[in-house]
């Protein structure tokens, strides 16, 4: 195919090739028409992006907001990319200058950043209170295999997808403005500040030239695990602060109740003394005395309740504990004829925590990152119902894997011994 100079320059400016255009089935003229029309409407789209961003920024749990509109070259490259390869998009097949604004749903992109995983729910409700999402598009939660997803379990209407590149983000498609009666959509993304950091670095170093480099992918996977751990640590620190504040409030309430009790006790005791001296009726003395006893009983029950509450808080806080939370007692393993690593791991949880984490090892190591399956098979010396425990795994290196243990009922892992069986293999 021989092209005129202006068309060749257009292809070059858009960052596509003549072969890709030919494979897409679209003419250069259609792509040029789309590009010219898009340029005319960029300011309208930019104003709409800023408007949507400001509405999201009003949410108290949003730390910061970023927005953009798609560049002309990215728009053209996306259209061409959707029509080439093994699975061309049917939605894009008849794209033209009159319908591209509706077909391409991320012409406007807005990203909301929050500090803690728990902030997502507030941000989620804020978005849904202001927009109705695109009818045929569910809210999508992209995550890494092995991520803790408990925070999303109350929202089954949101679909969860494991992302091939371990990308973490929640996506919404909402209606924006209209241009010439054509509906424009905005893609809203929400994620934590750590997820944002990893995503930006991943995008910077992986695109476009090294996307499939094995060494780079390995290190990005490790980095991704660290970002996930940082999110978990941030959430834990946030919970810890809340517990400390609650504990301090309990102390203040106890001091106030003690003062109120002593004042009431002194008053009643004075009444009893006065009645004993001035009144002949023993009934009034007895009544005052019984009232004093009731005050003492109420205070005793209050102290018992407070003691239980403080005990539970101290269990969760583990303020003064310096011992390891999890001790690896034993790991046995063998390699089957087909190269599968099988074995058992026994751990001891020495102090309570929101979850228990430990690391298993492969010796010899795999040649690449394996798939790992872990199952809890036994609990020793504790009252925990095994059916209430859940296990998640994370694998980022060929020589080890991480295991996380949770108790859905209690909200923390009890002290005791736990035994697991594991299997590691490379999928064919």
CATH of the domain at 109: 3.30.460.10
Domain final residue pick, 262, 297, 317: 317
Given a cut of 90, whether residue 234 has pLDDT beyond it is no
In a shared domain, residues 220 and 253: no
Domain final residue pick, 204, 224, 244: 224
Distance between CA atoms of residues 421 and 360, nearest Å: 11
In a shared domain, residues 167 and 253: no
- The closest of 378, 371, 390, 368 to 344, measured between CA atoms, is 378
CA atoms within 13 A on the CB side of 51: 13
In a shared domain, residues 417 and 305: no
In a shared domain, residues 78 and 189: yes
8 A C-beta contact, residue 46 and residue 62: no
8 A C-beta contact, residue 135 and residue 166: no
Q: Is residue 63 part of a domain?
A: yes
What is the count of structural domains for the chain? 3
307 vs 37 pLDDT, higher one: 37
Contacts of 336 (CB under 8 A, 6+ apart): 342
Given a cut of 90, whether residue 138 has pLDDT beyond it is yes
pLDDT band at 320 (very low <50, low <70, confident <90, very high): very low
Residue 184 phi, psi dihedral angles, 5° rounding? -100, 140
In a shared domain, residues 357 and 306: no
Determine the structural domain holding residue 341 and report its residue range: 326-425
Please state the pTM of the whole predicted model: 0.59
Q: Is residue 342 part of a domain?
A: yes
What six digits make up the tokens of 20?
A: 């890709």
Reported as a single tens digit per residue, the pLDDT across 270-301 is 776 776 666 556 666 666 666 666 666 666 56
Reported as a single tens digit per residue, the pLDDT across 44-98 is 999 999 999 999 999 999 999 999 999 999 999 999 999 998 889 999 999 999 9
Q: Is residue 122 part of a domain?
A: yes
Q: Which helix (H) or strand (E) holds 4?
A: none
In a shared domain, residues 295 and 347: no
CA atoms within 13 A on the CB side of 254: 16
Q: Is residue 230 part of a domain?
A: no
Q: Is residue 213 part of a domain?
A: yes
User: What CATH code is carried by the domain that includes residue 385?
Assistant: 2.60.40.2080
What does pLDDT average to over the chain?
84
Residue 128's pLDDT is 96
Q: Is residue 231 part of a domain?
A: no
In a shared domain, residues 51 and 152: yes
- The closest of 103, 106, 35 to 67, measured between CA atoms, is 106
In a shared domain, residues 415 and 333: yes
Domain final residue pick, 317, 351, 384: 317
Residue 16 phi, psi dihedral angles, 5° rounding? -120, 175
8 A C-beta contact, residue 117 and residue 235: yes
Using DSSP's 3-state secondary structure scheme, residue 262 falls into: helix
In a shared domain, residues 179 and 100: yes
In a shared domain, residues 59 and 162: yes
Provide mean pLDDT across the span 390-414: 86
Q: Averaging pLDDT over each range in 243-257, 267-281, 339-353, which range is the top one? A: 339-353
In a shared domain, residues 241 and 282: yes
Distance between CA atoms of residues 206 and 151, nearest Å: 30
Distance between CA atoms of residues 394 and 403, nearest Å: 7
Rg of the Cα atoms in the chain: 31
In a shared domain, residues 15 and 150: yes
Using DSSP's 3-state secondary structure scheme, residue 91 falls into: coil
């Amino acid at each position: 195919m021989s092209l005129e100079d202006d068309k060749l320059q257009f292809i070059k400016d858009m960052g596509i090739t003549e072969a890709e255009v030919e494979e897409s089935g679209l003419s250069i003229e259609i792509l040029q028409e789309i590009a010219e029309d898009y340029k005319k409407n960029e300011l309208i789209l930019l104003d709409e992006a800023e408007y949507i961003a400001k509405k999201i920024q009003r949410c108290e749990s949003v730390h910061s907001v970023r927005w953009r509109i798609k560049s002309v070259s990215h728009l053209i490259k996306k259209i061409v990319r959707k029509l080439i390869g093994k699975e061309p998009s049917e939605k894009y097949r008849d794209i033209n200058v009159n319908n591209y604004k509706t077909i391409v749903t991320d012409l406007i992109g807005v990203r909301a950043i929050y500090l803690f995983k728990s902030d997502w729910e507030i941000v989620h409700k804020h978005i849904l209170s202001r927009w109705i999402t695109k009818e045929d598009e569910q809210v999508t939660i992209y995550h890494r295999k092995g991520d803790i997803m408990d925070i999303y379990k109350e929202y089954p209407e949101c679909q969860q997808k494991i992302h091939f590149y371990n990308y973490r983000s929640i996506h919404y498609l909402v209606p924006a403005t209209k241009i010439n009666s054509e509906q424009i959509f905005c893609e809203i993304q929400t994620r934590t500040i750590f997820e944002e950091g990893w995503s930006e670095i991943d995008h910077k170093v992986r695109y476009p030239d090294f996307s499939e480099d094995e060494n780079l992918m390995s290190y990005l996977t490790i980095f991704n695990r660290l970002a996930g751990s940082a999110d978990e640590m941030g959430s834990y620190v946030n919970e810890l602060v809340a517990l400390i504040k609650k504990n301090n409030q309990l102390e203040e309430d106890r001091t106030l109740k003690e003062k109120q009790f002593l004042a009431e006790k002194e008053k009643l005791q004075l009444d009893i003394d006065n009645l004993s001296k001035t009144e002949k009726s023993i009934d009034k003395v007895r009544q005052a005395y019984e009232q004093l006893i009731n005050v003492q009983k109420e205070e005793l029950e209050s102290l018992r309740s407070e003691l239980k509450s403080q005990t539970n808080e101290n269990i969760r806080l583990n303020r003064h504990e310096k011992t390891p939370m999890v001790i690896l007692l034993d790991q046995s393993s063998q390699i089957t004829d087909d190269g599968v690593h099988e074995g058992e791991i026994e751990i001891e949880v020495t102090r309570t925590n929101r979850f228990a984490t430990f690391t298993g090892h492969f010796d010899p190591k795999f040649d690449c990152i394996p798939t790992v399956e872990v199952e809890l098979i036994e609990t020793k010396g504790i009252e925990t119902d095994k059916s209430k425990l859940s296990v998640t795994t994370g694998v980022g290196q060929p020589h080890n894997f991480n295991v996380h243990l949770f108790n859905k009922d209690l909200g923390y892992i009890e002290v005791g011994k736990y035994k697991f069986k594991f299997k590691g293999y490379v999928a064919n």
